[in-house]
Chain A
Amino acid sequence: MLRDALTTALNGLFERTGESFGMPVLELRPENIVPVVNRLRAEFGFELFLDVTAVDYPQRSPRFDVVYHLYSRKHNGRIRLKVSVPEDRPVVPTLTPLYGSARYMEREVHDMYGIGFEGNTDLRPILLYEGFAGHPLRKDYVMDMEQPIVPYRE
């Protein structure tokens, strides 16, 4: 029901629609994220930005999938938005002008996967430290490759 309302209202802005255990899923192109989220927030009441994360599919051609989750009090439902970005240009527009909570979460995705958010000026490392080379949650980062700051004592 929510999914039908969304698909009719946002017709033309998304590529594919689906459903995941009761949650509507929309797959978008990167340039459509900000208009779609604006309309979701204004018309459908998705005012709580829950989460942004990314998934790494190294064997697939657009390598990363950036996944957003939002919650609407009016409809008491969540929605998932998925955007595919390629490896050579992993950049999506930022949502920080719309939701303040996007700042830290986008910093974390940049830290862990290396995905850039254009418009977000503060992409310092948040869970890792400056001087850490590489992006740990990518599938090609070996899990126990440590990069110590303090030299070990003998």
Chain B
Amino acid sequence: MAMMEYMTTKKDELVGWIRKFSLFPYPFVTACCGMEFMSVSSTLYDTDRFGAALPRFTPRQSDLLMVVGTVSHKTAPILKTVYEQMCEPKWVMAFGACATSGGFYRNYAVVQGIDRIIPVDIYVPGCPPRPEMVIDAIVMLQDKIARDRHPIFPFEEQVPVKT
């Protein structure tokens, strides 16, 4: 029995290692933070070193939803639809102050933080955040994925679907 648990833990570590180093981001770019996203993907600060370089511009093939920039109430249904089109396992990064908490826009048009609509795994503050902060966030997210449970066999207890 202990052997079974040991094998499950080792399997989780292996699957976690595989998943964390092959993140396919979906950059949901709306505003100024998009400029920093372009900078962090380019040669000076490279996300390719961490495995998170290739953006898949379709939610069906990606597993990291990076919400980059302000989400207004008009964009909120679009964001929710994109999130629900992604398959499990999926992670969400709130990139920038506007995605984290609405930024300094406290008015009728801006959603005060995307965690009011979709569950968020990691928040990156900054207006816009420096590229080093984004890389730090990706590394922290990779640590979180490594620690997580990854039930891939049907006989295991499954992780509840996030809404």
Contact = CB atoms under 8 A, between A and B. Distances in A.
Interface string A128-148: 110000001000010111111
Contacts of B119: 153
B77 A150 contact: yes
Interface string A111-139: 00000000000000000110000001000
B104 to A, nearest CB: 12
Contact of B108 (A144, A150, A152, A153): A144
A83 B107 CA distance: 29
Interface stretch (B42-50, B90-98, B109-117): B109-117
Contact of B163 (A143, A144, A150, A153): A153
Contact of A141 (B74, B108, B111, B163): B108
Contact of B107 (A129, A143, A150): A143
B51 to A, nearest CB: 30
A143 to B, nearest CB: 5
A144 to B, nearest CB: 5
Interface in B58-104: 73-74, 76-77, 79-80
A129 B108 contact: no
Contact of A146 (B77, B108, B163): B108
B94 to A, nearest CB: 14
Contacts of B163: 153
A1 interface: no
A56 to B, nearest CB: 15
Given A153-B116, A153-B117, A153-B163, A148 B108 contact: no
B80 A145 contact: no
A148 to B, nearest CB: 5
A153 to B, nearest CB: 7
Interface string A51-71: 000000000000000000000
25 contacts: A128-B74, A128-B109, A129-B74, A136-B108, A136-B109, A143-B106, A143-B108, A145-B108, A146-B107, A146-B108, A146-B109, A146-B111, A146-B112, A147-B73, A148-B111, A149-B73, A149-B77, A150-B73, A150-B77, A150-B79, A150-B80, A150-B117, A152-B116, A153-B117, A153-B119
Q: Which 10 A-B pairs have the closest CB atoms?
A: A150-B76, A152-B116, A129-B74, A143-B107, A150-B80, A150-B117, A136-B108, A144-B106, A148-B73, A146-B108
Interface of A: 128-129, 136, 141, 143-150, 152-153
